[in-house]
Amino acid sequence: MPVYQKNGIGDSRNHKKEGFFQMLELKHIKKYYYVGDSVTKALDDVSVAFRSQEFVAILGPSGSGKTTMLNGIGGLDIYDSGDLAIEGKSTKDFTAADWDAYRNNSVGFIFQSYNIISHLSILDNVEMGMTLSGVSSQEKKNKALQALDRVGLTEHINKRPNQLSGGQLQRVAIARAIANDPEILLCDEPTGALDTETSEQIMQLIKELAAERLVIMVTHNPELAKEYADRIIEFADGKIQNDSNPYDGHTDADQFKLKKTRMTFWTALKLSFNNIRTKKGRTALTAFASSIGIIGIAIVLALSNGFQKQINKTQANTLAQFPVTISQTATSTNGTNANDKVKPTKSNQVMAKVSEQDKATHTNKLTKDYLNYVKKLDPQLSKNVTYTYSTGMNLLRKVNGKVKSVSFSNTDNSSSSNSASAMQSAMAASTGVGGSVYPSANDGGISFLKKHYKLVSGGYPKGANEVILIVDRDNSTNINALKNLGYSVKANQKFDYNQIVGTTIKVVNNNDYYQSLPTGNYVPNKATTGLYNNHNNTKLQIAGIVKVKSKSSENVLASGIAYSDQLTQNIISKNQDSRIVKAQQKASANVMTGQSVDQTTKKSLVSYLGGSTTPASILIYPNTFKNKDKVLRYLDKYNHGKRKADQVIYTDMAGTVSSLTGGLMSAITYVLIAFAGISLVTSMIMIAIITYTSVLERTKEIGILKALGARKKDITRVFDAETFILGIASGALGVVIAWLLTFPVNIVLKNITDLSNVAHLNPIHGVILIIISTILTVLGGHIPARMAAKKDAATALRSE
């Protein structure tokens, strides 16, 4: 009788006993397979005990249940009924984790088909069992090298599995099985695929290993069994037919201790990374396939980015040209009613009828209330709210030592000289008396100017007494603006900045500017140095020159002189009670020409002379079509519940344009979003399919890992880690490809539409897409990974 001695590799076991003892006992084990209506009794009430040290051969015809028994002993396949005792410990109440630990620490498997993981190196294969149980890498390597030495493979350890012969592969499998020094070695037809000579060598090796442990070997070769084994059990129809050396020793005490296995996510990541590395080409293709969705989304994002910019630009441009206008007289579009019943008159009568146009004409009362209401408009909605006053300014400038009467207007006034008629022609200009007005807001208008203009010379205006010259993007400005300022200019003539910046202009009060004649009429005084130097005058200065920043800022202010609305208000407050204003308010004729005037003209004369604080019109420049709608809604709200006469009607010139382009733009946006959505779904399905295929393909590997003691969690982790790597790779690949694609896309778009740089991938979007890709890939792969983990180990190993 052989005697148990401890002379194996490693010292992980510590048997205090001398001689052998009962290692395993199968008690009435049954395992039935149900396929359709038929039942296969693979194990039919098997009872047998094994010594802690012996070489048992199990002989029997194919299909007799040998593999089923071996898998049952090894915990790969759980029996239906009966009990398996390990060193006296019943396994009836074993949890999945207990079985995992048992396989990992106590059992080594050797299969007919070697079951070496082909994408791992030989050393990694041998180390795998220890990797799963978290053995430190140095200890792992030492043990693996010892095991490989034991099976005679020391000189081949640097080869890859596909560079080894069958016999060598089986030696690797043996090394893997004994590396952790298990008490039990289970061999399922280990020589079944080998030639006679190699078979003899392998049998010799197994025989040596059996001196230290229990070896149970399934074979259908009786000669080999007889030559090497200590004990032969003959198997047929799921039952033991004959046992050459039965054992009836019993162990009552429970001697068995389990060491739980664990694998870190880091290990899983390394395993997956190795797997991916060995299949570079295929992984690249896989990553590319699943990146297509990301490419789609990235391109759509890049394009809609550009389109959105373009849309905003177009809208802003349109709106800059067509502001929402509130004038003192407006045409109400809802005043006409198409449903008015036509009542026929008698044939011999004429009916006096108000024309549709007159009916629609509405006088807006721009009351303080209304002005305050407009002032409270959300500043985010509009680029500018301009108040135009038909208030004239009495301006003087010294040109080459001679005092001249000048104006901020940019309309051509050259035909008339400084006189009442000039004033009247200025009044005729609907937008007032020249120059653009910007809102002074809280900071005198500086932030407003900075938003749309960049300073090219001088400084931004500090206060109402500093004005500014607006130039276009080509540094040009309206010739009339310069002429009216007193410059003698020819078309296309150029001026140095310093000829303009710093220029002083004086504003003269009405009382000093106009003199009353004995007739009661008023005329302007001569533009003299004396009048220029009058200490009542307000000194204005051109503080600087600003230039339109972008196309969307064009037309926000007209080219020429611009000043803050505060200046107008200052002038009005000075002139409001002036003699000429008082006179004009009383007179029924023009106080300068003596011509009799109607009520309306009189009102505008008073206004021109600075006698009215009511603006002539309000121009609102919304920044987008959407915001324009909000502005209009805000203005409409004012009219709610008001009498028709008290309502204020605006003109929305951009209305027709906006409803057209706005609809088209939102259609395009929706189409783009739909495409992005489809891409996303496609991407997810693709990823799920790819992971699922990968799971199917690696079924065998899952079986091997389970045989080595991998937990369900570990298997899930290996696949999660793989999809994690794949997700990052495909996300990054997708973003890079999409980014590269923006270049040709932009060239094509430039050729077709003349718009440059439409597609622009925001780097933040890129990062977000990589994260999304990773999350989606891991999610999409997690379900197949869970399925893989649930796979029955025995079934997985049977798959080919």
- CA dist., res. 360 & res. 357, Å (int): 5
Segment interacting with Mg ion, rule: CB under 5 A, options 44-52, 62-70, 504-512, 725-733 = 62-70
- Applying CB under 5 A, which part among 59-67, 100-108, 161-169, 237-245 lies near Mg ion? 59-67
In the complex with ligand ADP, the residue whose CB is nearer, 181 or 189, is 189
Residue 15: both structure tokens together? 């048997």
User: CB under 5 to 8 A by kind: which of Mg ion, ligand ADP, none does 63 bind?
Assistant: ligand ADP
Assess contact for 505 and 398: CB atoms under 8 A: no
Q: Which stretch binds Mg ion (CB under 5 A): 60-68, 332-340, 407-415, 708-716?
A: 60-68
Q: What is the closest distance, in whole angstroms, from the C-beta atom of residue 306 to ligand ADP in the complex?
A: 59
The stretch among 66-74, 290-298, 634-642, 737-745 that binds ligand ADP (CB under 6 A) is 66-74
By the 8 A CB rule, do 105 and 72 touch? no
- From the CB of 188, what's the least distance to ligand ADP, in Å? 7
**CA 284 to chain CA mean position, Å:** 24
Q: Look at residue 222 and give the partner it binds from ligand ADP, Mg ion, none, a contact being a CB closer than 5 to 8 Å depending on partner kind.
A: none
Orientation angle between helical segments 763-790 and 712-753, nearest 10 degrees? 150
* Site for ligand ADP contains 795 (CB under 6 A): yes
What residues from 67 to 96 belong to the interface with ligand ADP (CB under 6 A)? 67-68
Q: Of the candidates 22, 67, 364, 624, which one interacts with Mg ion according to CB under 5 A?
A: 67
Cβ nearer to Mg ion, comparing 58 with 591: 58
Q: Cβ of residue 17: shortest distance to ligand ADP, in angstroms? A: 33
Closer of 696 and 771 to ligand ADP (Cβ) = 696
Count Cβ atoms below 10 Å from residue 410 Cβ, excluding itself: 24
**3-state class (DSSP) for residue 699:** helix
Check binding of 65 to ligand ADP (CB under 6 A): yes
Which lies closer to ligand ADP via its Cβ, residue 239 or residue 782?
239
- Beta strand ranges found along 150-247 (DSSP E): 184-188, 214-219, 231-236, 239-243
- For residue 506, list its beta bridge partners: 396, 539
Stretches 61-69, 315-323, 365-373, 405-413: which one binds Mg ion (CB under 5 A)?
61-69
Q: Can residue 64 be called a binding residue for ligand ADP (CB under 6 A)?
A: yes
Out of 17, 19, 47, 63, the residue judged to bind ligand ADP by CB under 6 A: 63
Q: Helical H runs in 514-562? A: 529-532
Long-range Cβ contacts of 246-251 (<8 Å, 24+ apart)? 246/48, 246/49, 247/22, 247/49, 247/50, 247/51, 248/49, 249/21, 249/22, 249/49, 249/51, 250/22, 250/25, 250/49, 251/21, 251/22, 251/25, 251/85, 251/87, 251/88
Is residue 314 a contact partner of residue 757, using CB atoms and an 8 Å limit?
Answer: no
The answer to whether 66 contacts ligand ADP (rule: CB under 6 A) is yes
Instruction: Give the nearer residue to ligand ADP in terms of CB position, either 67 or 410.
Output: 67
Tell whether residue 327 is a contact of Mg ion (CB under 5 A).
no
Pick between residue 239 and residue 262 the one whose CB is nearest to ligand ADP.
239
62 contacts ligand ADP (rule: CB under 6 A): yes
Q: Which is nearer to ligand ADP, 15 or 220 (CB)?
A: 220
Residue 545 makes contact with ligand ADP by CB under 6 A: no
Q: How many angstroms separate the CA atoms of 680 and 27, rounded?
A: 56
Rounded to a whole number of angstroms, the minimum distance from the CB of residue 217 to ligand ADP is 12
Q: How many residues interact with ligand ADP (rule CB under 6 A)?
A: 13
CB of 214 to ligand ADP, least distance (A): 19
On whether the CB atoms of residues 245 and 89 are closer than 8 A, the answer is no
Residue type for 361, please? T
Q: Which of residues 615-674 bind Mg ion (CB under 5 A)?
A: none
Strand partners, 105: none
CB of 66 to Mg ion, least distance (A): 5
Q: Indicate whether 71 belongs to the interface with Mg ion (CB under 5 A).
A: no
Q: At what angle do helices 265-278 and 122-132 cross, to 10 degrees?
A: 160
CA 560, distance to chain mean position in Å, is 45
**Which does residue 33 bind out of ligand ADP, Mg ion, none, counting CB within 5 to 8 angstroms by kind?**
ligand ADP
Residue 113 found at the interface with ligand ADP (CB under 6 A): no
Write the CA distances from 67 to 59, 62, 239, 362, 703, integer angstroms. 11, 9, 13, 100, 14
Question: What is the DSSP pairing of strand 538-548 with strand 81-86?
Answer: unpaired
By a kind-dependent CB cut-off of 5 to 8 A, residue 249 interacts, out of ligand ADP, Mg ion, none, with none
Q: At what angle do helices 122-132 and 166-178 cross, to 10 degrees?
A: 20
Told to check if 191 binds Mg ion by CB under 5 A, we report: no
Sole residue written with tokens 């960049």:
454
Q: Going by C-beta distance under 8 Å and a sequence separation of 6 or more, which residues neighbour residue 777?
A: 290, 687, 691, 723, 724, 726, 727, 730, 731
- Report the nearest approach of ligand ADP to the CB of residue 691 (Å): 25
Q: How near is the Cβ of 787 to ligand ADP at its closest, in Å?
A: 17
Per the structure block, which two tokens stand in for 651? Answer: 């003109």
Nearest to 238 by CA among 408, 424, 404, 42: 42
- Nearest distance, CB of residue 225 and ligand ADP, angstroms: 14
| Least separation in angstroms between CB 110 and ligand ADP | 14
Is residue 247 helix, strand or coil? coil
The stretch among 63-71, 354-362, 466-474, 516-524 that binds Mg ion (CB under 5 A) is: 63-71
Q: What's the one-letter identity of residue 651?
A: T
* Residue closer to ligand ADP, measured from CB, 40 or 534: 40
Residue closer to ligand ADP, measured from CB, 232 or 381: 232
- Binding track, positions 6-45, relative to ligand ADP; x by CB under 6 A: ---------------------------x-x----x-x---
Diameter of the chain measured on Cα atoms: 151
**Binding site partner of 40, from Mg ion, ligand ADP, none, Cβ cut-off 5-8 A by kind:** ligand ADP
> By CB under 6 A, is residue 222 in contact with ligand ADP?
no
| Contacts to ligand ADP by CB under 6 A | 33, 35, 40, 42, 60, 62-68, 795
| Contacts to Mg ion by CB under 5 A | 67
